[in-house]
Structure 1
Amino acid sequence: MSWTRGLSKWGFDEPRMAFAGRTALAACTAVVIAWLLGLEHPQWSGMTVWAGSQPWRGQLAEKSVFRLLGTLVGGVFGMLLLLLTDGNLVWLTFGLAVWIGLCTWAGNRIRGFISYGAMLSGYTAVMVTLLKSHHFTSIFAIGIDRIFTVSLGVLVALLVGWRFAPVANAVNIPKRLKALVRDTEQLLRAEQVAGQGTVELEAQKQHILRQLALMEESLETQVAGSWNLRQRVRRWRGQMVALVQALLNSDLSMMSSQNLPREVAAYYDTREAMRASLRSFLMMALAGAAWLLSGIEMGAFMLVGTAIMVSVFSTVTQPLPILKQVVIGQALGVLAAWVCRWLVWPYMGSETAQIVSLMPFILMGGLFFGHRIGAGPRGFDFNMVLLLLVQPGWPLLGDWTHAWQAGIAVVLGPVMAMVAFWLIFPANSATQIANVRTKVRRTLLTQAAQPMDAERKAQWYAQLSLGVLKLARYHTAGTATTQTENALAWGHGVKAMGVLQQHLTLLKQEASATAEQRNSVTAVGALLLSGKASATELVAALQQLQASWQGSTALDNAKVEQALAVLAAPTAR
């Protein structure tokens, strides 16, 4: 029995304990090396180890690359901002707010670890500019010291992780896709035998859809570190689109349809990226104003925490529940840092003894992360805050007033982020679901109002499938109410409206149409595109359309009836 397996009966998770143990040892190593090299904040190299470590080799390699790039970009921007503002804190905080907003926007427009690197460059600039140096007066020296500190942590995390981390499991993606294809085929055949869908079969459809949504969301991180696997991502996503269309249409032939694109790009919501950017900018500006008005020096730690939380968690499906765990982890990290600084270090006789006495705290952080109580954000943020606040130096640095102010300021960071996600473009399941529905519906109906060739139609159906997957992901991550909502029914409704919109486009070109008929087509099309029309208004307009085109062979009445059926089913609208 391994030592990790022996601890499992005490609440320690074996795989996580192995990861946490080697990460804690790597953090200790990084701190010691950084201290021996004379870097100003050697403990921050340990922070970087925790931030950069990953359970899989490919993820570790790719995250390390983008962490280095993000640190370099953020460090250079921070140095330039210090030079441009010349110590003016008002312009400095405004510049940082703009920078965080831009980096958040970039991070939400891309996926994978490059997104992480973009947002990292944002809060790295905040750390370079706001966390004062006691050793350097040169802006250039401060920036170089910070960059070297992070680079050392990245290198140690990479070397240790590469030695022990397993190879990524992206090779399982084709197997998982084949299993879902098999399950879908069995499900649709059972539906054909039954002659109609049943509650049980519908539940199985929802289960398959949610599995697809989870898989699609993690594709970029699954293939991290492998160029060959990355080339297959669009093809895998194309297979997922075909599966969604098969589920939507209850049609097995859709899985091999030539009318769907074989390769599909990821779903991106530009409006959501802009909302996240504005949220980050506004919250940083408000936090900066609060700091400047209060005059509390340690408030800089609050801005650092706010910058990290509002940017990094802007890409998370449900940030508020996670941020609650972050607050707990950071509060415990503050307490551990206080114990180290005020109860242990006063009895150390040198800086060397301080570094040695810090090691048990770092290892304790590894144990906490490996336990089920410290799993996830609690354990991670415990370690990050512990290493952020302890500053070795003999004689001892700082006083108790600065210590408690810094501790409170750090915890206020995620609290401020929670306020931002709650009040500024709220990031909860209800608003996220509503935003996806509005965006996808408006985009698809606008496209359907224009003439489409075969290629554009294929892309149209691909966008519909990706929208359904995104909606299913939000349903799964939301409340008990949203988890019962039917993304497929909604997708079926949007498809019916889109098909009707395409038919209206053809009717507009009908040479023999009367003025009344053209007006009825225009009225329905305008209501569909507005997105604000009630079901009653749409039903009345569709009935008027049927009446004006009665007796004409140009009108495909089946498409109108399908749209009317959708309007009669609230879950599909």
Structure 2
Amino acid sequence: MQWPRLLPALRATAAALAALVVAHLLRLENPYWAAMTALIVVQPTRTLLFEKSYYRLVGTAIGSAAAWLLLLQTTSPLALTAALSIWIAACVGIGNLLHGLRSYAALMAACTCAVIAMSGYQNPGHLGGMAFGRVACIIVGILVTTCVTALFTPSHSMDELGDRLNKVAADAVRWLAQLAEGAGKQAGTDLEQEILCEAAEIEALLDAGGISSSFRSHRRNARNVLGALLSMLAAGKLDTESPERLQLLQRAASGWSEALTRRLQELAAGLERDPGPEWCGKAKALAAETTLHLPLLGRALYHLTGTLEVALASHADDGANEATLHLIRHRDWQQAGRAAFRGGIVIAVVGLVWSLTGWSKGPLMLMALSIMISIFSSKEHPARFVGLIFIGAATGSTLAVFCRLVLLHGVGDFAVTAAVIAPFILLGAYAMQHRRTVIPATDATLFFIFVIQPGVSVTVAANDLAIGAVAMVLGVASAWMGYTFLVPVNPALRMRSLLAAMAKDIAQMSAQANRGSRVRIRGKLQHRVIRLVALARNFDITPAAAVSGAIGVLALTATIERLREKLEYEELSPESARQLRETLDRIACMAQTPALESRLLQGWADDLSAVLKPLPPTEDRVGATDEGAAMGAVMVPAS
């Protein structure tokens, strides 16, 4: 065994056993819940440990209260199933609209209600004790885990976040240097992919940072940096990549592009070495000079410098005023609705079968099903997760039945039971330290504890115990079928929803005259671009095409904003104003066609920047119907 992985496994095992002992000594109902909580809330940093514990407790309290109220109102299996279906559908829908551990709390409320309701239905005389015991065991598990592991768990480091922001900003400046050098599209493709993928990883980490006000401020400032970064990528696309624009630039300012390339490279190197006040001063000076020749790029570089300066400073609250750059997180209403429907209908179908057949193990199946159909519904590919969990559930349940019937046959002493199960928990905790086995190992350990139920006097016959374990595994299988066949969800479907939302954003930006509304739409679209790239990278869905399309979409939104600014702030002739409005209307119409969505990942947006050049309007261009000609017709100079 490897000590770096064995030590965390030993700490997790010690926390689980200690939580079990404390809950048993306190005579809580179902003390094994405390041991399961101790394993679940273990996290790589103290900040995550505290935050996940907090939201797990909140979700558990809400779900327990809902189950208690539900069982007070009904004892009919059919009515109970209907009520559970509605509750789980509502919680799953809300959980899929929220982000981070707030989503986890909503999903915990869904499955906790089902677990308590089914346990209470089987033991109506212990309903109050079960609801209280569930919450109390969660508290015990959290406190014990904190005491056992917190001293050995590093705190969340703001320095790491700052270093990653430095690195991605430096890469973006280096990317601009390549474009200004005229190296062509291919030279910057790999760097584009690295920049957007790193931005996606940073954004994902921000949701798991902490609930303190100081970290919320850092999180807001970091999102401002990411928003400014995406704006600069768009500006670089518009201002430097068009061959016609480079020719005009070289004629107007001979040799300046070479100087710009050199200074950008120096700026990127300085940012990686020491992003202090001296670097910020040089960057702002370069941004001001760049604005004279490339206004969009100069302004974007200035905003990136300002947001990064604030994010890296100790006075993090100063970044709150950069609302125009802030990312607004994507909410997928379509997939949230599908998740809610899936959760409700699967619970209803299995609950209906239980109600009609009266199968005594139906509640156990519903318990496992409720956890699988809720907790993992927000995953990008839940069927894959649940498939791995099925392996773990089957393994853990089999080991639990063997342990209970062979190793613990006739054993009623709590200390002996804890001693016998300890090696199994340690083995599972060790397997949880490996990336490839973490998912099945986690659920194998949890199912092992749940089936064996240490701390509870077990008088179940051998066949009943085995059938109960099978029922729980069948609950996992039912969730997998729901994710795969009934209301399927996978990365491709999520990507299509993203593309549809992005196309809608483009259409709305084109039609929206209010600047504040356009800023909000841009913030949403930028976050969707990051999510798109993350999906493509995580599941190998043509990442290069996704990055290429993402950069082009950002460039298109910058063009739309520039068109709107011309209409709002520049004195234009009636004919020019009419042409600009027709251009925006044409973009809005084209953004809503399926052809646009299908080409966002096929390099369509790459061609947009190449036609951003001043061309006199002609009758042929205004009346173009071919998609490529129409795209050329709608583009106007960005400066």
Please say if 1:282 is aligned against 2:345: yes
1:372 and 1:439 mapped to 2: Cα distance?
33
Quick one: structure 1 residues 397 and 232, their matched pair in 2 at CA, closer, same or farther if it must change by over 3 Å?
A: same
Residue equivalent to 2:210: 224
Residue equivalent to 1:564: 631
Residue equivalent to 1:462: 523
1:238 and 1:361 mapped to 2: Cα distance?
47
1:520 and 1:448 mapped to 2: Cα distance?
10
Shift of 1:203: 1.6
2:564 and 2:628 mapped to 1: Cα distance?
14
Residue equivalent to 1:447: 509
1:283 and 1:132 mapped to 2: Cα distance?
21
Residue equivalent to 2:485: 423
Q: Which amino acid aligns with 1:400?
A: A
1:106 and 1:535 mapped to 2: Cα distance?
27
2:63 and 2:380 mapped to 1: Cα distance?
26
Q: Which amino acid aligns with 1:237?
A: R
TM-score (norm 1): 0.84
Q: Which amino acid aligns with 1:316?
A: K
1:332 and 1:224 mapped to 2: Cα distance?
34
Residue equivalent to 1:18: 7
Equivalent residue pairs, number: 538
Quick one: structure 1 residues 463 and 40, their matched pair in 2 at CA, closer, same or farther if it must change by over 3 Å?
A: closer
Contact 2:332-2:497 at 8 Å conserved across structures: no
1:148 aligns with one of 136, 142, 164: 136
Residue equivalent to 1:381: 443
Quick one: structure 1 residues 469 and 534, their matched pair in 2 at CA, closer, same or farther if it must change by over 3 Å?
A: closer
Shift of 1:80: 0.2
Shift of 1:175: 1.3
2:207 and 2:348 mapped to 1: Cα distance?
32
Shift of 1:47: 0.6
Which shifted more, 308-317 or 527-536?
527-536
Residue equivalent to 1:313: 376
Which shifted more, 499-508 or 389-398?
499-508
TM-score (norm 2): 0.75
1:325 and 1:410 mapped to 2: Cα distance?
15
1:356 aligns with one of 405, 419, 422: 419
2:323 and 2:177 mapped to 1: Cα distance?
22
1:30 aligns with one of 4, 19, 22: 19
Contact 1:78-1:128 at 8 Å conserved across structures: yes
Percent identical pairs in the alignment equals 24
Quick one: structure 1 residues 504 and 533, their matched pair in 2 at CA, closer, same or farther if it must change by over 3 Å?
A: farther
Residue equivalent to 1:370: 433
Residue equivalent to 2:311: none
Residue equivalent to 1:49: 38
Quick one: structure 1 residues 246 and 521, their matched pair in 2 at CA, closer, same or farther if it must change by over 3 Å?
A: closer
Residue equivalent to 1:255: 301
1:329 aligns with one of 374, 392, 398: 392
Q: Which amino acid aligns with 1:25?
A: A
1:483 and 1:96 mapped to 2: Cα distance?
40
1:470 and 1:125 mapped to 2: Cα distance?
31
Please say if 1:489 is aligned against 2:544: no
Shift of 1:350: 3.6
Q: Which amino acid aligns with 2:463?
A: T
Shift of 1:123: 0.8
Shift of 1:49: 0.7
The root-mean-square deviation of aligned C-alpha atoms, in Å, is 3.7
Quick one: structure 1 residues 134 and 279, their matched pair in 2 at CA, closer, same or farther if it must change by over 3 Å?
A: closer
Extract unaligned runs of 5+ from structure 1. Answer: 1-6, 9-13, 540-547, 569-573
Q: Which amino acid aligns with 1:387?
A: I
Residue equivalent to 1:206: 193
Residue equivalent to 2:257: none
1:239 aligns with one of 225, 229, 236: 225
Shift of 1:473: 0.8
Please say if 1:531 is aligned against 2:593: yes
Contact 1:123-1:308 at 8 Å conserved across structures: yes
2:365 and 2:336 mapped to 1: Cα distance?
24
Contact 1:260-1:461 at 8 Å conserved across structures: no
Shift of 1:502: 8.5
Please say if 1:139 is aligned against 2:111: no
Q: Which amino acid aligns with 2:194?
A: H
Please say if 1:271 is aligned against 2:258: no
Contact 2:31-2:455 at 8 Å conserved across structures: no
Quick one: structure 1 residues 26 and 257, their matched pair in 2 at CA, closer, same or farther if it must change by over 3 Å?
A: closer
Residue equivalent to 1:101: 89
Which shifted more, 160-169 or 42-51?
160-169
What's the CA shift string for 1:94-116, capped at 9, x where partnerless?
11111111111222222222221
Contact 1:49-1:153 at 8 Å conserved across structures: yes
What's the CA shift string for 1:133-167, capped at 9, x where partnerless?
88771532332222222222122122222222111
Quick one: structure 1 residues 103 and 390, their matched pair in 2 at CA, closer, same or farther if it must change by over 3 Å?
A: same
Contact 2:96-2:378 at 8 Å conserved across structures: yes
Shift of 1:125: 0.8
Contact 1:310-1:417 at 8 Å conserved across structures: yes
Which shifted more, 266-275 or 200-209?
266-275
1:47 and 1:393 mapped to 2: Cα distance?
13
Quick one: structure 1 residues 37 and 98, their matched pair in 2 at CA, closer, same or farther if it must change by over 3 Å?
A: same
Shift of 1:395: 6.9
What's the CA shift string for 1:45-98, capped at 9, x where partnerless?
11111112212111111111112221111111100000111x111111111111
2:488 and 2:221 mapped to 1: Cα distance?
34
1:185 and 1:104 mapped to 2: Cα distance?
41
1:437 and 1:52 mapped to 2: Cα distance?
35
Quick one: structure 1 residues 283 and 494, their matched pair in 2 at CA, closer, same or farther if it must change by over 3 Å?
A: farther
Q: Which amino acid aligns with 1:289?
A: L
Contact 1:43-1:390 at 8 Å conserved across structures: no
Name the SS of the counterpart of 1:54 in structure 2: coil
1:312 and 1:349 mapped to 2: Cα distance?
34
Residue equivalent to 1:544: none
Name the SS of the counterpart of 1:261 in structure 2: helix
Please say if 1:410 is aligned against 2:480: no
Name the SS of the counterpart of 1:171 in structure 2: helix
Shift of 1:361: 2.5
Residue equivalent to 1:83: 72
Shift of 1:132: 4.7
Residue equivalent to 1:339: 402
What's the CA shift string for 1:412-453, capped at 9, x where partnerless?
233222222223443212111111010121133123212132
Contact 1:318-1:477 at 8 Å conserved across structures: no
Name the SS of the counterpart of 2:207 in structure 1: helix
Shift of 1:533: 6.1
Shift of 1:220: 1.8
Name the SS of the counterpart of 2:210 in structure 1: coil
Shift of 1:550: 3.6
2:546 and 2:423 mapped to 1: Cα distance?
51
1:206 and 1:165 mapped to 2: Cα distance?
33
Name the SS of the counterpart of 1:231 in structure 2: helix
1:206 and 1:566 mapped to 2: Cα distance?
29
Contact 1:284-1:306 at 8 Å conserved across structures: yes
Contact 1:56-1:165 at 8 Å conserved across structures: yes
